[in-house]
Structure 1
């Protein structure tokens, strides 16, 4: 009986993996077309913006700010900001845009969300390394101090933002009016991400305020993995883990309730 149950669970996991893989491929085709250049644009869009912002900040502030090199500071900060905006932005109309796929018995609303989240997570991470490697070879960037910490921060950030994005998607599915407020709120939330400053630069009172934001902890953790002890960072890994788990617990509960509001077209 135990072996049969284990085989059934394995089959379900394989089926779910095939479903999400198919949704990933479909999402790529819908977004970028059937040409080989399509996948390149998944990486190219955030890469072009990141390089543009790095160049602009270098012109404005020079090579360093408060003893931190400007180019890697912008690369680390703008990469997480791009992921934040892309995941939430792509989740907003996800249920409505993919309602027709729910005719398939194996496709669930949350599968479409997971596919989009994976696409954005992988695409922006590749863009980060595509920008980093040439700069490292040319000597503009120092080597990454701790890959395990850097990648842990990245995927924790993705996991937490994905949960928050699902909550936003559920609200927008129930109320179309809410969708109009998403983009303005994303811009207003930029200071709360910690993308363009270090906590150590701020006065003590301001530090306590900004560290209430889990996004700031994620950015500081990501930069701790990149810079190492040469740059002062302030973050709490358990705070980030708790925030990510709470976000996803709320999100998955809401997704189950929101399914009844999805009209299959």
Structure 2
């Protein structure tokens, strides 16, 4: 086989450089295919959560005089909706990444791990930008004395991202190995929007249900997010150790299954 000068140069690069170049190229491809084909591009990614928060705020302002924290409905729902959407969207994109990019794995420089990581990085970056834009826009509408700790906000988003990576990596294998699982997963996770603390606080839940809802990692994420915004809210139920342990356990399991079965699943 005749090798071109470009192939020779690529092969001569250290593995870490080849991996970084492959991930960067995959991120650019993902940006083009996800946002480049529709008018407005990235604006739609921002418009969706803005519209959702505005609709929730309007609907609940008709039924309640004030949210559970503070005096701003949009800010209260944003602190629950934004980390939830980071998890939901990122986990879904990671789970379908290998299936979406199967043809690229015919190139020796692209691996399934590159594909998962590229989709993960782009999705997290997009949602972090959206969260910053929305929170900065909403802060002037609320009492600034509620603003507490930006590090807690970063920690909450990091927990949501890590959980999304763990769930998405495991589902990346399960969606390929058992195609019916994708539909089952969609049905099973629909209630998460209701039971993840977007509309209410952990302390608002009746005592007989708190112990059960505590095992939902997303309830910890939304609690940490609100503790980072509202100085008056402690979020005593939040356990970063539980969220990280759950996320890492799912991630390790998913990576082990993918490393063992990816070749056969991708080419079947």
C-alpha displacement of 1:244: 1.9
1:52-84 CA-partner distances (Å, limit 9, x unpaired)? 323333333233336664322200111122122
Matched, 1:80 2:83: yes
Q: Is 1:86–1:120's contact at 8 Å kept on the other side of the alignment?
A: yes
Match of 1:55 in 2: 58
How is 1:60-139 mapped onto 2 (pairs within 5 angstroms)?
A: 60-65=63-68, 69-139=72-142
C-alpha separation in 2, matches of 1:56 and 1:154: 26
Alpha-carbon deviations, 1:110-154, whole Å to 9, x = none? 221222222221212222222222222344666631111110121
Out of 242, 250, 258, which is 2:245 matched to?
A: 242
Is the 8 Å Cα contact of residues 167 and 251 (structure 2) preserved in structure 1? yes
Q: Would you say the 8 A contact 1:98–1:112 is kept in 2?
A: yes
* Aligned residues: CA RMSD: 2.5
Deviations 1:67-113 (A, max 9, x none): 66432220011112212221232234322221000122221112212
1:231 paired residue number: 233
1:258 and 1:184 map into 2 onto residues whose CA distance is: 26
Superposed, 1:125-204 pairs within 5 Å as: 125-139=128-142, 144-204=147-207
Please give the alpha-carbon distance, in whole angstroms, between the structure 2 residues aligned to 1:211 and 1:159. 18
1:251 corresponds to 2:254: yes
Aligned 8 A contact 1:50 1:79 in 2: no
Decide which of 208, 213, 220 is 2:211's aligned counterpart. Answer: 208
How far, CA to CA, are the matches of 2:48 and 2:73 in structure 1? 21
State the shift of 1:34 in Å. Answer: 5.9
User: In the alignment, which residue of structure 1 is the partner of 2:31?
Assistant: 28
Match of 1:38 among 41, 45, 58: 41
Aligned length: 255
Structure 2-normalised TM-score?
0.84
